[in-house]
Structure 1
């Protein structure tokens, strides 16, 4: 993540959270007036908020100034890996874990909106090496149509948290829990068809290191505790595993005819 990308990310985050972006003297700076909610989440001053709310006083909301150039002295230096950026990303994950959105349609469109369940997943291939991929899957909760690249498709639509006037939503026939299980089965089936060369190579490296470890203790009939610990460490380092983690999810009321059938993956 480059500094320009961090700047854009911060602007989008604070703007969408209702915070005010204040004027700055340099393009390498960002100054933000926090809302009450963001102050509570980011500033770590619970005693202040407890006192203010007890006496019913008007709070003094914090202002944050970030600098994206390490040579600048004005503000908190923020970069990829910095504690503040990590804190903000965790906040994004907490706030955006599940959302509900509605598609904004042209006035001449049919008013019916169909329910779609969208999941964004991080798939991690782990051994002594690690590689992460993001998968985005959408499932229509009436007929079970499933598409990949759901998040990219959503970016092409106009969405709002409030249902548009003169529209109505269709009731789902598939429950949220059942929809999640369908997507899980789909992802699992796809993973089972993928090449396993990365895992085979990790197992080969694991076996070589295990043989080397055994050679160090070959002369000892009764292996010491250290041998057991090192053997376990090799397993933790090399054992191939695929982990799937939910990043966030959402219920989206959409008009399928505006983006189907080109994206249909399965049913």
Structure 2
């Protein structure tokens, strides 16, 4: 996840949760939190418990996030945030809690408002793929699945973000009933990601196994004078396995059902949406 993407994600997250963005630049955001968001992110349970008992006036915090130090003026101080930062993962967790699932409908252009327009169902899943050993790397994927024909598109959130969406069906529109059930769609996306991860070359995993074997040799050398290995040997050996064993985890952050009049192939990538070159084969 690039720093620019983190910046955009933070701006969208706080705006969607009614937090006032008081100042923003290319590398920073200053956000006035709401009471609910302060409770969610700022780890002040005693303050809020005391305030509720005494009937005091709430004073939610203001926080500045630095997403790019080089683009942020020196006089602006704040919390540096990057993909591995605990704060960002706290925000991911809050996103999952607050908006785990959403249903939205595209508002077609005014030029088409005088005729009945079909809205096609798409399943959107925002997914985190974690590559773990003694080190860790996370990737975010946004996958859209057409629930009529099973076609898959990556970076689908970029498409959805570029459209005008609302929570109710617009006038002069009707929805097409899904042929593929949401549960089946989730399984298709899961199978696609597993297949993609399986096809990848994983030098990080091979390097982790090499480090693992080197530490196992050191452990065996340390206990080589023992005719019978003590319990501590097995404990330390298991600890090395837990530390180094390569694992790939796939986790759904959130998702939604989107009814769209616009097909991804019709979108202009330069305008913030996605072209047919992003299309994947349905599973």
Could you tell me whether the CA contact under 8 Å between 1:125 and 1:241 is conserved in 2?
yes
Query: In 1, distance between residues paired with 2:194 and 2:96?
Result: 24
Three-state SS of the structure 1 residue aligned to 2:200 is: coil
Task: Give the unaligned 5+ runs of structure 2.
Answer: 67-73, 267-274
In 1: Cα distance, 2:235 partner to 2:119 partner = 58
User: Does the CA-based 8 Å contact 2:148-2:180 persist in structure 1?
Assistant: yes
Between 178-187 and 12-21, the greater mean CA deviation after superposition: 12-21
| Partner residue in 1 for 2:62 | 65
Deviates more, 1:140-149 or 1:3-12: 3-12
Aligned with 1:165 (options 171, 188, 195): 171
Superposed CA RMSD in Å reads 3.7
Q: 1:91 aligns with which of 83, 90, 94?
A: 94
For the residues of structure 2 that align with 1:50 and 1:216, how far apart are their CA atoms? 59
Structure 1 residues 34-81: Cα deviation after superposition (integer angstroms, max 9, x where no partner): 2x64465456325655887xxxxxx84434233569x989xx954438
**Distance in 2 (alpha carbons) for counterparts of 1:247 and 1:201:** 29
Paired position in structure 1 for 2:203: 197
Indicate the structure (1 or 2) with the bigger Cα radius of gyration.
Answer: 1
> TM (normalized to structure 2)?
0.73
Q: CA separation in 1, counterparts of 2:259 and 2:247? A: 36
Distance 2:63 2:107 in 1: 35
Matching residue of 1:101 = 104
Alignment partners' CA distance in 2, 1:264 and 1:85: 29
The corresponding residue for 1:118 is 124
Task: State how many pairs are aligned.
Answer: 256
- Match status 1:255 vs 2:261: yes
TM-score (norm 1): 0.77
Residue 265 (1) aligns with residue 280 (2): yes
1: distance between equivalents of 2:137 and 2:88? 22
Q: Tell me which moved more, 102-111 or 167-176.
A: 102-111
Q: Secondary structure at 1:164's aligned position in 2?
A: coil
